[in-house]
Copies of this chain bind each other. A is one copy, B any other.
Amino acid sequence: MSSLMQKIKEVLPQLSEAEERIGKYVLGNPEAVPHMTTKELSQKSGVSEATIIRFCKSIGIGSFKSFKLALMKDLTLTDTNLTDFSVLDKKDSPYDLFHKVIHVNKSAIESCADSMDRKELAKAVEAIQHAKKIVFFGVGGSSTAAVDAQYKFTKLGYHSITSLDFHYMLSVIPHLTENDVFVAISTSGKTKDVLELTRFAQKKGATAIAITTLSKSPLYKEADIRLCTPNVEQDFRIGSIPSRMTQLTVIDTLYMSIFHHVGEKVLQQYYDARSEMESLRR
């Protein structure tokens, strides 16, 4: 716990009722407060604006602005890992939500570092490097990552395929061989479509890479290579927001790694494409 927050906690019992309410709100939503005005904070915590000012003085800070600055500094120093989004509030304005989204997404990406296994990652890069074809598949919220990956790897010169359509995929997979890679994306690791296609691809000899959470799910168990995303809060309100960020971070890593490797070879083509794009830019 950092110094300002600590300080607030300490003096909380000595504060008046209204000021205590502010203190509690601040402690509960520290990352939201630095972007608020006195008016907003007064409404959120159910006191008057005047009391906000008094609160600042009570905890020994001269102005509301200084208070916000101090709080912000506090938060950056102790990168709070409040991954949960339970702090959503009826009164939240779009701007408040914006800052909460920033916070959640940042936390999600940060926590990617915890779940990734470097050996598995190395294996995945190795497999993709030598792949003739790469097929990505994800449904629902995970389809975003699949679409993104397909685009990125096409840019790198790969024969890269994805589709939201299960039956389309059924027609793609029979043509896979040992040289190919099937990347299955599913947060839960239980999605039936994804599982069935993964098994099918494996039967054709393709290497199955799973981008999924570390769990006892069938996808986790059966995949050849596991790239784990962290178990981020799955609140219904935020839906798949944070998990999609983690999936994309994994995709980005694969992309960067391959780019890094094929490097110079692709680079010239890349520049060509860029200048061509400039002139053609539709």
Chain A residues close to B by CB (< 8 Å): 35, 69, 72-73, 76, 88, 92-95, 97-102, 105-106, 109-110, 112-113, 116, 118, 121-122, 124-125, 139-141, 143-144, 147-148, 151-152, 155, 166, 190-193, 196, 236-239, 241, 244-245, 248-249, 252-257, 259-260, 267, 270-271, 274, 281-282
Contact call B94/A122, Cβ cutoff below 8 A:
yes
Task: Identify which of B35, B192, B248, B282 contacts A282 (C-beta below 8 A).
Answer: B192
Contact call A94/B125, Cβ cutoff below 8 A:
yes
Contact call B244/A190, Cβ cutoff below 8 A:
no
Complex CA distance for A92 and B258, rounded to whole angstroms: 12
Residues of chain B lying within 8 A (CB to CB) of residue A249:
101-102, 105
Q: Closest approach, in angstroms, between the C-beta of A70 and any C-beta of chain B?
A: 12
Given the known A-B contacts A190-B281, A244-B148, A281-B192, are A256 and B73 also in contact in the complex, defined by CB atoms under 8 Å? no
Tell me whether chain A's interface is mostly helix, strand or loop, or mixed.
Answer: helix
Given the known A-B contacts A113-B102, A147-B143, are A155 and B239 also in contact in the complex, defined by CB atoms under 8 Å? yes
Q: Closest approach, in angstroms, between the C-beta of A121 and any C-beta of chain B?
A: 5
Complex CA distance for A252 and B97, rounded to whole angstroms: 9
Among residues of B, the one whose C-beta sits closest to the C-beta of A107 is B106
Complex CA distance for A97 and B244, rounded to whole angstroms: 19
Residues of chain B lying within 8 A (CB to CB) of residue A110:
102, 106
Contact call A109/B112, Cβ cutoff below 8 A:
no
Task: Identify which of B72, B95, B118, B282 contacts A191 (C-beta below 8 A).
Answer: B282
Contact call A237/B252, Cβ cutoff below 8 A:
no
Q: List 19 A-B contacts (CB under 8 A).
A: A92-B260, A93-B122, A94-B118, A94-B122, A94-B257, A95-B122, A97-B260, A98-B121, A99-B113, A101-B252, A105-B245, A144-B144, A191-B282, A193-B282, A236-B274, A237-B256, A237-B260, A245-B248, A248-B248
